[in-house]
Amino acid sequence: MVSQNNIIIPLSSAMLLLLNIAAVRAAQEQGINLPTYSPAQNGYLGLNTVPSARMDNHGTLRTGVSTLDPYLHSYISAQVAEPLSLTFRQTSEVSSLTNDAKKLYPGVDLKLRLAKENTYRPAIALGIQSAIGHKRMAGEYLALSKRCNDFDFTAGLGWGRYGTAGHFKNPLSGLSPHFDKTRDYNSEMPNKPSNWFTGKDIGFFGGIEYFLPYDDFSLKLDYGADRYVAEKAAFDYKNAPLWGLGLAYTHNNWLSAGVGVQGTDKVMGRLSIQSSPAKWPLRASNYSNSPRPIYKERPQRTNVARILSEASQDGIDLSDIWTNEGETHLLATLHLPDGVPAPKHVGRAARHIINNANSSVEKITLTLQTKALRGTRISLMRSDIEKAFKNKSSSANEIWQNADIESKTQTKTHLKPHEDTPSKDSPFLPLKYFSVESTLLSGDKPPSLKQWGASTLTNKTELRLILDNQIGLSEEDSGLLRRSSLIIEGTASPFLGFISGVSLRLNLNDNLENIAKLRPASNIPVRSDINAFSDKFVSLDRAHFSYMHSITPELHASLSTGYLEEFYAGFGGQIIYRPIHSRLTLGGELWQAFRRDPDTNLNLALNGTQVTTGHAHLWYDTPYYDVTAKLSTGRYLLGDTGFSVELEKSFHNGATLSASTTLTDAADADLYGSTTHSYHSLNLSLPLGSLPYVPSGSELRAKSAPFGRNSAQTLDKPLDLYNLTQKFTINDIARHWPEITN
């Protein structure tokens, strides 16, 4: 028996409530007409018990609970990409809401939009319930939805649970005998891709939602095709008629509730909250002062000491300040802090330079640097900045028109203005690329440079806090495994190119003490003994010494050694090729990892096990949606080989939402008492650095993924070159360019 207290998901609910405070206020202030589509019983958008083709706004997170005899569902869902929704669901078999669950049926559900709705075509979506999960709840569907004024019509075909009414023969059986096989919904083996869209028969479902003239209310009427075949075979269960009628209420798109009946003898209810990380009110850091105004008169000489001191007071680090012989062009290195968009920092730095640079300086070039990596050079015309900041007669768009961006030293191509209508996410024309020579040279003779400022900053010390949370579904003993930790992390740059970092982990709360009963013992544990690590209140999370170097502005490398993560020490390195004008990025990493011993003080000792692990990576930044797709292949910490696919959505406030799946050639214990070759996770990161007395770069992390896995595990490296070089790319610069005037 499983306690109902472990079924609900309190952590995610609390986080979404915080998100909703900002979401509702922003919507009310801007007069946004928020969508009113609401979820069905299992967490996806739909009617009462059947799915629709509707999708949430990109980035929406939802957590909720629903009940319809004989099940109670709790779930977390995420719209990880515009056409893709993922739901992590825990279904418990209950005879009464006041009783403990008899059994749990966890699963991962997905919904993929195949076509958007237009004037003549309905929205079309393909869904798989328990794509990875218990067979009891497994089913697939093809849904179509069409809006007509206040009515939203839905119809579809279902396989598995959605097809047990057997209205038609499975049309896919004509393609292959594979699709004609009988499905066993009470099997203890997990559902797999080989089970998708199989079965001798399929079912038809449909319904209508009427949006009432009363704000936020709608009526749902549907007809399903689930005849509860598995329940009738497993215990004495009498299902209700297939039709359902419900009343839905959605308040400001953050709270959704519904009540209804299935047939005439079963009552259903649901409650959910939803929001988007885009509405999170906090940022990674705050500037200490308001933007400095631009002086009316230009100074007659360059005062570098004042540039450096005033910028430092504003939290801006400048170094390596140079001018040419005639003092018409000033160059400097701008050090970017974590979580602050490059254009915003560039705009702040330009104010301090303009106020204290010789009146003859007409061009300002800033080389962006993060940690020890040097990347893009951005050149701005002084007059454009003065018009925007002093006279308010110029905009960020006009500054953009004259901005020079260096990609490669040999590139001198000037792109022509784009004639298409710019997107709302990138409202600027394509950038022009210039070489370093074109920004400094006059003719063929090298310029005479004069250094004013100090060399690259060293001895830079940074501190941040990470509130790290993970939840994982379980079929036995506990409906929800959880762990919460506080990581206190400090980094320093003792000298050029080198970085040292130390972090302590405080284990605040978990219920992993019985995980050994849920996962069989392993001779070569990777993360299966996580309970031994979480038993200590204080442990050394990391202690590493790293060297980073930018071979070119587009090619970066790093080496690291020490205690690399909570479970492993070792050494290794990364390399990444990231053309700033391209959406494609290539990278690789290789590590020799030594397993740490959890039975020693601070987990400092090694247990003698070591492994060589490494991966090749390919990233692609999709246009318009701020979504990065990542494909990786290589060798994992168990010695298994395979590949992983990840989608990550980035938000302007610094929040990120990602989902990943990994497949390898090694089998591992899964949630259902069987084995699996896959590993799935859903990750959310929210910045905290703008809170008073909280260090810049601090964040709140939440992860939904299985605990105690050995296969398909990667090293949690101390420094990630892809994240560190994100601000060097034109895509990121263009996305945040409006903030240059903030």
Domain segments of the chain as ranges = 4-279, 304-457, 467-725
Query: With bands split at pLDDT 50, 70 and 90, how would you rate the model's confidence at 602?
Result: very high
Cβ proximity of 203 and 164 under 8 Å: yes
- Among the CATH numbers 2.40.160, 1.10.3710, 1.10.3470, 3.30.2310, which is that of 467-725? 2.40.160
- State the DSSP code for 128: E
pLDDT recorded at residue 187: 82
Q: How confident is the model at residue 234 (pLDDT cuts 50, 70, 90)?
A: confident
Nearest one of 568, 600, 586, 577 to 630, comparing CA atoms: 586
What is the model's pLDDT at position 432?
A: 32
More confident site: 473 or 398:
398
- pLDDT (average), residues 416-436: 32
Which residue, 26, 44, 70, is CA-closest to 125?
Answer: 44
**Two structure tokens written together for 658:** 């990602």
Judge whether 410 and 435 are in contact, CB under 8 Å. Answer: yes
Mean pLDDT of all residues in 684-703? 92
Residue 542 has pLDDT above 70, yes or no: yes
Q: To 10 degrees, what angle do helices 304-313 and 342-356 make? A: 140
Question: What percent of the chain clears pLDDT 90, i.e. is strictly above it?
Answer: 56
d(CA 113, CA 681): 21
Amino acid letter, 717: K
pLDDT band at 24 (very low <50, low <70, confident <90, very high): very low
Given a cut of 60, whether residue 227 has pLDDT beyond it is yes
AA letter at 211 = F
pLDDT at 639 over 80: yes
Three-state secondary structure call for residue 444: coil
Report the sign of the C-alpha dihedral through residues 357, 360, 361, 362, in that order.
Answer: positive
The domain at 4-279 falls in which architecture?
Beta Barrel (2.40)
Residue in 70, 32, 62, 68 with CA at minimum distance from that of residue 45:
62
Q: Across residues 62-75, what is the average pLDDT?
A: 92
- Residue 494 pLDDT greater than 90, yes or no: no
- In sequence order, the β-bridge partners of residue 472 are 481
Residue range 227-242: mean pLDDT, rounded:
89
The pLDDT value recorded for residue 27 is 43
pLDDT of residue 323: 87
Chain segment 301-328, per-residue pLDDT in tens: 988 889 998 898 888 999 888 888 788 9
CA atoms within 13 Å, Cβ hemisphere of 274 = 32
CA distances from 505 to 201, 434, 490, 540, 704 (A): 53, 46, 12, 6, 19
Q: What pLDDT, in 10s, does the model give residues 377-424?
A: 999 999 998 888 876 767 888 899 889 887 544 333 333 322 333 333
% of the chain at pLDDT higher than 70: 85
List pLDDT tens digits, range 142-161: 999 999 999 999 999 999 99
Least confident of 489-493, 520-524, 669-673: 669-673
Q: How confident is the model at residue 290 (pLDDT cuts 50, 70, 90)?
A: confident
More confident residue, 99 or 362: 362
More confident residue, 235 or 289: 235
pLDDT band for 452, please (50, 70, 90 cuts).
low
Looking at residue 188, what is its pLDDT?
Answer: 74
Q: CB-based contacts of 683: which residues, under 8 Å, 6+ apart?
A: 656, 657, 658, 659, 660, 701, 702, 703, 704, 705
What's the confidence (pLDDT) of residue 713?
96
Q: How many CB atoms sit inside 10 A of residue 201's CB? A: 16
Residue 215: closest CA among 259, 254, 250:
250
Residue positions counted in the chain: 742
Residue 506 has pLDDT above 50, yes or no: yes
354-386 per-position pLDDT tens digit: 999 999 999 999 999 998 899 999 999 999 988
Asked if the model's pLDDT at residue 567 lies above 80, the reply is yes
Instruction: Look at residue 12 in the predicted model and tell me its pLDDT.
Output: 46
pLDDT at res. 407: 57
